[in-house]
């Protein structure tokens, strides 16, 4: 109870700190806040020695299940792994012999706030809530792919890294470079949605290059662009009367290429939201690092072959964010019926994604985990991403590969070569470790019930009952 209350207080204090940083500067150094030095419950002391006894341990590199492993941890990193590892005297032993132990999960597409909250304070609280929900569900690394509200996610990432509030390791895109505003105007008053997103004019290659530099200077790790006009007015939304998706390109090919060129020059990666048509082609052909959604990729064989070639050469990847569409399928059906598309071959976004998923899976294209989770308490809040694993297996992906999608497959697309520090349980990597009670290889829904979470050698939750066998010595 004490730990829960303490965490709540730290969340509130941390959110206030985030507000201070956002209000002053997205690039302010934490030292400038003059915070008194104190140990954080969210950062492991360098002197600690911890040993985890794993009854089953998933090897995310080979996709196989090992048994009776010992994971030795010094400070925040793993120092040794194996069945014969000796546990030093004085080490703290965590008994997970009744569990399946895995690397911490990675979600490559979240929105910690997505513009929610009518003030910096409320947005900061929503972001802190999202971060807590993620790590509590076993996602020890996330990528915020646009939460808008300035560079608040940079402040969130720094607050977590400094141990001020609990949360996953983060990479962030900050505010998207998106000229299409936040959503379509649905009333006679233009209101908040009448201008460019974040009031940023990105309508030329040179303006976009300048915005990319601004992203870099404010501390983002990614640049996020949108290249499909997914809504047009009050009627079309995402479907045209003939059943096709609205695929009007939001940016020109030259503009997309300028973003990719400038971002790569600055050491940033580029992610692109796109559904179909020329906008989708512009992202893939320009060499965007992670093209997201690509709902109608299955319809473009030539472009599909480009994606396959890029994936095999390691140049670029694609990410199908399943969860954010699970709860929109019914809405799509209503739109299709409203437009008189039923019986005319009209497909929901969900049906299109399934076809693209199956084609990419059959071609051997890596499919990194990305949920599209949204901050707050809406249809798809943070902390519920685990239901995506069952959907992947339903569409034909083997359970081991589905698990790997949120481990090494996702780690391989992170910026700065983070695959050398997260995604697997190996000596030298961060001690980001989660566990479930059952065996996900036989029941993939176990991934929805994470019961043990460690990040950087710090245990955030442990609901696994200990074994009856002795837990000291060998």
Q: What is the pLDDT of residue 233?
A: 60
Q: Kind of pairing, strands 222-226 and 458-462? A: unpaired
| Least confident piece of the model among 57-66, 153-162, 215-224, 377-386 | 377-386
Question: For residues 435-464, b (16+ Cβ closer than 10 Å) or e, as one string?
Answer: bbbbbbbeebebbbebbbbbbbbbbbbbeb
pLDDT at 372 over 70: yes
403-430: pLDDT as tens digits: 999 999 999 999 999 999 999 999 999 9
CA distance 260 to 250: 16
The two tokens of residue 341 are 């598309």
Q: Where are the domains of the chain?
A: 49-103+426-462, 175-217+221-369
Taking all residues of the chain, what is their mean pLDDT, rounded to a whole number? Answer: 85
Q: What is the pLDDT of residue 193?
A: 44
Query: In the structure, what pLDDT confidence band is assigned to residue 184 with cuts at 50, 70 and 90?
Result: very low
The mean pLDDT of 373-384, rounded to a whole number, is: 87
The two tokens of residue 290 are 């992670």
Sole residue written with tokens 């994971």: 71
pLDDT at 108 over 60: yes
The mean pLDDT of 122-143, rounded to a whole number, is: 95
Say how many C-beta atoms besides its own lie within 10 A of residue 24's C-beta: 12
Burial (CB < 10 A; 0-12, 13-18, 19+), residue 181, is middle
CATH number of 175-217+221-369: 3.20.20.140
Q: Identify the DSSP state of 380.
A: S
Q: Which of 168-182, 340-354, 380-394, 427-441 has the highest mean pLDDT?
A: 427-441
Q: What is the pLDDT of residue 329?
A: 52
Sign of the torsion angle spanned by Cα atoms 63, 64, 65, 68: negative
The two tokens of residue 450 are 């994470």
Whole-model pTM?
0.88
Architecture of domain 49-103+426-462: Roll (2.30)
Of 383, 380, 404, 381, give the one whose Cα is nearest residue 392. Answer: 404
SS3 category, 184? coil
| Least confident piece of the model among 67-76, 119-128, 211-220, 260-269 | 119-128
CA distance 186 to 140: 37
CA distance 223 to 322: 21
Q: What is the pLDDT of residue 26?
A: 39
Complete DSSP assignment for 250-287: SS-HHHHHHHHHHHHHTT-EEEEEE-SHHHHHHHHHHT
Q: Kind of pairing, strands 373-374 and 105-111? A: parallel
């Amino acid at each position: 109870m004490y730990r829960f209350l303490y965490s709540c207080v730290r969340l509130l204090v941390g959110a206030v700190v985030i507000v201070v940083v956002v209000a002053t500067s997205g690039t302010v150094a934490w030292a400038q806040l003059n915070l008194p030095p104190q140990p954080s419950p969210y950062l492991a002391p360098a002197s600690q020695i911890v040993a985890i006894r794993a009854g089953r341990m998933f090897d995310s590199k080979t996709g196989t299940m090992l048994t009776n492993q010992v994971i030795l941890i010094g400070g925040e990193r793993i120092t040794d792994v194996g069945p014969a590892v000796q546990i030093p005297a004085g080490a703290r032993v965590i008994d997970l012999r009744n569990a399946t132990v895995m690397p911490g999960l990675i979600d490559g597409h979240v929105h910690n706030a997505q513009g929610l909250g009518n003030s910096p304070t409320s947005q900061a609280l929503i972001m802190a809530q999202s971060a807590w929900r993620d790590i509590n569900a076993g996602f020890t690394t996330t990528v915020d792919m646009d939460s808008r509200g300035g560079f608040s996610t940079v402040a969130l990432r720094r607050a977590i890294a400094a141990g001020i509030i609990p949360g996953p390791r983060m990479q962030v895109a900050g505010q998207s470079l998106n000229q299409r505003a936040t959503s379509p105007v649905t009333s006679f008053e233009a209101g908040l949605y009448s201008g460019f997103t974040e009031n940023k004019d990105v309508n030329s290659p040179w303006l976009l290059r300048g915005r990319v530099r601004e992203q870099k200077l404010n501390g983002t790790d990614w640049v996020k662009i949108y290249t499909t006009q997914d809504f047009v007015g009050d009627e079309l939304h995402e479907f045209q009367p003939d059943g096709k998706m609205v695929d009007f390109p939001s940016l020109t090919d030259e503009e997309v290429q300028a973003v990719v060129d400038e971002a790569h020059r600055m050491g940033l990666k580029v992610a692109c939201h796109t559904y179909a048509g020329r906008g989708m082609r512009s992202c893939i052909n320009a060499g965007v690092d992670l093209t997201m959604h690509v709902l109608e990729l299955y319809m473009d064989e030539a472009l599909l072959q480009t994606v396959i070639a890029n994936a095999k050469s390691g140049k670029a990847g694609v990410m199908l964010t399943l969860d954010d569409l699970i709860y929109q399928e019914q809405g799509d059906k209503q739109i299709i019926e409203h437009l008189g598309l039923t019986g005319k071959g009209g497909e929901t976004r969900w049906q299109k994604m399934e076809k693209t998923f199956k084609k990419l899976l059959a071609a051997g294209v890596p499919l990194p985990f990305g949920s599209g989770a949204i901050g707050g308490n809406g249809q798809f809040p943070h902390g519920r991403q685990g239901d995506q694993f069952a959907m992947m297996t339903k569409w034909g992906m083997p359970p081991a590969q589905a698990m790997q999608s949120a481990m090494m497959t996702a780690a391989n697309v992170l910026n700065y070569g983070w695959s050398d520090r997260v995604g697997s349980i190996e000596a030298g990597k961060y001690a980001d470790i989660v566990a479930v009670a059952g065996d996900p290889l036989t029941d993939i829904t176990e991934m929805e019930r994470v019961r043990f979470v460690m990040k950087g050698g710090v245990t955030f939750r442990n609901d696994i009952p200990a074994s009856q066998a002795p837990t000291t010595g060998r």
